[in-house]
Structure 1
Amino acid sequence: MTSSFVPAAAAGFGTGLSLIVAIGAQNAFVLRQGLRRQAVLAVVVICALSDAVLIALGVAGLGAVVTAWPAALTVVGLAGGCFLLCYGVLAAVRALRPGDGQGLSTRGTTTGSVRAAVLTCLALTWLNPHVYLDTVLMLGSIAADRGSLRWVFGAGAMLASLAWFAGLGYGARLLSGVLARPAAWRVLDSLVAVTMLAMGAMLLLRTL
């Protein structure tokens, strides 16, 4: 049994990573916070801990409950779509009308910026129905096939989430030299705006 732990955990790690790495609103936000070095630890912890909770719920079998109550995903989809559209508009405004000191020199960890980052991260994480589909339903169903090793599989997926968000948040600073100029931030905010607006529109279209 012990010899089966490593393959099960590795399978969970690989499966979890394949679902998390896809470009999305949450990853774009973590990348931006990492580049600005604002509330990186809080954002990484929220993302990784949220995934861990959802993966645990999926492994425990909550996927059947979510499937039986589709109205819940509809409500989450509507709220999440509206939030992503609003966030995308704000990113577009930043790109079109950059403020003074748009570069990395404006980074900071004031209470207001940390609070805003935490609230935004929570919304991007918990108001995205794809998160529930990927973690609770998909990972949960795959873990169920592992039988007694389903929690080992789940632990591997949780580790993948932690490794990805930590690497994305803290590794982003390696690009600080490239993004030291305001023009580079306008490009980044433009990409964030396109990502958020596209995902928000798709969420609303699929939900309505």
Structure 2
Amino acid sequence: MKAQPARWIVVTAFALLASTACIFLARWQLNRLHGRNDANRIITSNYDQPATPLTRTVHPGEPLDTRTTWRAVTAQGTYDQSDELLVRKRSLNESTGYWVLTPLDTSSGRIWAVRGWIRAGADARTPSLTPAPPAGLVSVTGYLRGLERTTDTQGLPDRQIQTISPSVINGSRSTPTYQAWLQVATEDPAPKTTPTRLPNPDV
């Protein structure tokens, strides 16, 4: 009979611990919900704003403010297809493929632009044909997006990457580079064929 109080102490302690854990998890989920709602409000507000010149919105070398994510901007420059990369394992409408990442060299610096999505070829390591960017001077309208975390690129096929990370966009060039990437919406002049444009934000 002496063991009975001790057992109730253990049960009570366990119940208190479980209750504390539940409260912590509930607060964590609530904070995540609030954070997601705040992010969605920023995206919705920015996406609906008229496009502004890139140089008036962000500057080369400066981190992208989260409040500027999905802001529509305009830029004028020339695509450097010789540095073009493919971002692996990007899905669209449940199909696996690649983002086509091409640097746009402007008078103020280089900004990497995702011109769209292409389907995978015969296998996941082989892309389908990539449409060429417009030649010469081009005016681009698109949306500013934040950089992704750095991942290992060892063992990947040539010119393929996993993420759009600082190590990828900065490379070894001394050219001033915007610390963001551009999701292309329109190009002028428009090329004959383009990769499939990325969809609107899901909020």
Taking CA–CA contacts closer than 8 Å with sequence separation of 6 or more, which of the two structures ends up with the larger relative contact order? 1
TM-score range, shorter chain: under 0.3
Instruction: Decide which structure has greater strand share.
Output: 2
Q: State the TM-score, normalizing by the size of structure 2.
A: 0.25
TM-score, normalised with respect to structure 1: 0.24
Bigger Rg over Cα:
2
